[in-house]
Structure 1
Amino acid sequence: MNQATRRTVTFSLLALLAACGKPQSKFRAYNGPAVTQVVVNKGARKLYLLNGSTVLKSYDVGLGNVPVGHKQFEGDGKTPEGLYFIDRFNPRSQYHLSVGVSYPNENDTALAQALGREPGGDIFIHGWGPDGNRLAPTKKDWTAGCIAIKDDEIEEVYAMLRPGVPIVINP
């Protein structure tokens, strides 16, 4: 093997090793059609990302630890139902990544106050993170009211969504 060939092989191997050792970022790029709506069907445990009426992606989800019924107040363990909006992104979530849902709205706040309670908040679509990796394999609905998907799936969702996208959460 001549000097030039040996050098080429050496640099190729070094480049390959460097690529193998590089940690993969949890932040992905997305160049496809815009997500115009998120739909969650609680009964079917499904989340859909839509462009118009076309389903771009679908995911199996876990819900609050009391999966039936609309969230009424802080600590009830229920996932809200109704029309909300994507309102924030948390890149440092304890659940890998998370995307905020605009709960509570005015009606949610009024209902909770009528019950003499606080409506709660911090409802997110989030990954499993360490808690979910421990709980989700044996308990489908384990969150305090959030919508949970696998860590690699929240990476896709996080890249695809934008603030202001409506999310409809059905019973």
Structure 2
Amino acid sequence: MIKQITVLSIMGIVVFISGCGEPQAYGKVDNTPYAISECRQELAHGTDVEADKLADKIVVYKKKRELSMYRKGKLLYACKISLGKNGDKGNKIQAGDYRTPEGSYYIVRKKCDPRLYKSLMISYPNEEDKARARAHGAKPGGYITIHGQPKWNADGHADRYTLAHDWTEGCMAVPNKAIDTLWRSVKNGVKIDIHP
């Protein structure tokens, strides 16, 4: 009897870890499958965007939970965001504090992500961030991005819920429709200013 329970427990853990029974997820609001291959194709070949729709600056206001994209001072696009779980507790100090950084950075990489759709990596930590972490005897962390939604919300059905909560590890999360817009209009090297 004990052996049967142990075997069933192990099987249950394996099923849980493997994700069996996980609802099918979608990568865009038009219900196409959540596809890394499409994202990688875009990375390889780029996307055709008119020059006047290419951004030269991104501005984030953490308190407003708002991201805006500009070209030559003209607003191209704006959307709501979620922050790190402790995003309202000030500037990021160290790895694992779940705070979203504040300061001036730039986009360094576009990344296809099977867990969070697409992401735009920022140049955190800068020298100031590293010095602040050292002053606290800590490491600054890294891998801060603007990213899309997790698989369970890939079709956008829960955008209202996710945007009403801060849930990331320090990144800025936007709806997948928004990350598609940013992905097309933002090239590596675009400046991003993150304000309190």
TM-score, reference length from structure 2 = 0.70
Post-superposition, which runs of at least 4 consecutive aligned residues in structure 1 deviate over 6 A?
none
Say which SS state the counterpart of residue 97 (structure 1) adopts: strand
TM-aligned CA distance change 1:30 to 1:47, over 3 Å: same
Deviations 1:38-80 (A, max 9, x none): 0001111110000121100001000011112100000111000
Instruction: Give the aligned residue type for 2:148.
Output: G
Aligned 8 A contact 2:159 2:175 in 1: no
Cα deviation for residue 85 of structure 1 reads 0.5
Q: How many residues align?
A: 150
Larger radius of gyration: 1
* Percent of aligned pairs with the same amino acid: 34
| Number of the residue aligned with 2:81 | 61
Cα deviation for residue 152 of structure 1 reads 1.6
In the alignment, the residues of structure 2 paired with residue 150 and residue 36 of structure 1 have an alpha-carbon distance, to the nearest angstrom, of: 21
1:149 aligns with 2:174: yes
| Number of the residue aligned with 2:188 | 163
1:64-143 equivalences in 2 (<5 Å): 64-68=84-88, 69-130=90-151, 137=161, 140-143=165-168
Cα deviation for residue 92 of structure 1 reads 3.0
Aligned 8 A contact 2:84 2:168 in 1: yes
Instruction: Give the aligned residue type for 1:169.
Output: I
In the alignment, the residues of structure 1 paired with residue 135 and residue 195 of structure 2 have an alpha-carbon distance, to the nearest angstrom, of: 23
Aligned 8 A contact 2:116 2:151 in 1: yes
Instruction: Give the aligned residue type for 1:152.
Output: K
In the alignment, the residues of structure 2 paired with residue 161 and residue 168 of structure 1 have an alpha-carbon distance, to the nearest angstrom, of: 14
**Structure 1 spans left out of the alignment, 5+ residues:** 1-21
Say which SS state the counterpart of residue 129 (structure 2) adopts: helix
In the alignment, the residues of structure 1 paired with residue 159 and residue 167 of structure 2 have an alpha-carbon distance, to the nearest angstrom, of: 7
Moved more, 84-93 or 42-51: 84-93
TM-aligned CA distance change 1:41 to 1:158, over 3 Å: same
In the alignment, the residues of structure 2 paired with residue 108 and residue 149 of structure 1 have an alpha-carbon distance, to the nearest angstrom, of: 24
Say which SS state the counterpart of residue 91 (structure 1) adopts: strand
TM-aligned CA distance change 1:135 to 1:52, over 3 Å: closer
In the alignment, the residues of structure 1 paired with residue 67 and residue 84 of structure 2 have an alpha-carbon distance, to the nearest angstrom, of: 14
In the alignment, the residues of structure 2 paired with residue 59 and residue 146 of structure 1 have an alpha-carbon distance, to the nearest angstrom, of: 15
In the alignment, the residues of structure 1 paired with residue 112 and residue 59 of structure 2 have an alpha-carbon distance, to the nearest angstrom, of: 22
Aligned 8 A contact 2:102 2:195 in 1: yes
In the alignment, the residues of structure 1 paired with residue 194 and residue 106 of structure 2 have an alpha-carbon distance, to the nearest angstrom, of: 10
TM-aligned CA distance change 1:31 to 1:135, over 3 Å: closer
Instruction: Give the aligned residue type for 1:130.
Output: K
Cα deviation for residue 131 of structure 1 reads 5.8
Instruction: Give the aligned residue type for 2:174.
Output: I
TM-aligned CA distance change 1:159 to 1:46, over 3 Å: same
Cα deviation for residue 156 of structure 1 reads 1.0
In the alignment, the residues of structure 2 paired with residue 97 and residue 127 of structure 1 have an alpha-carbon distance, to the nearest angstrom, of: 6
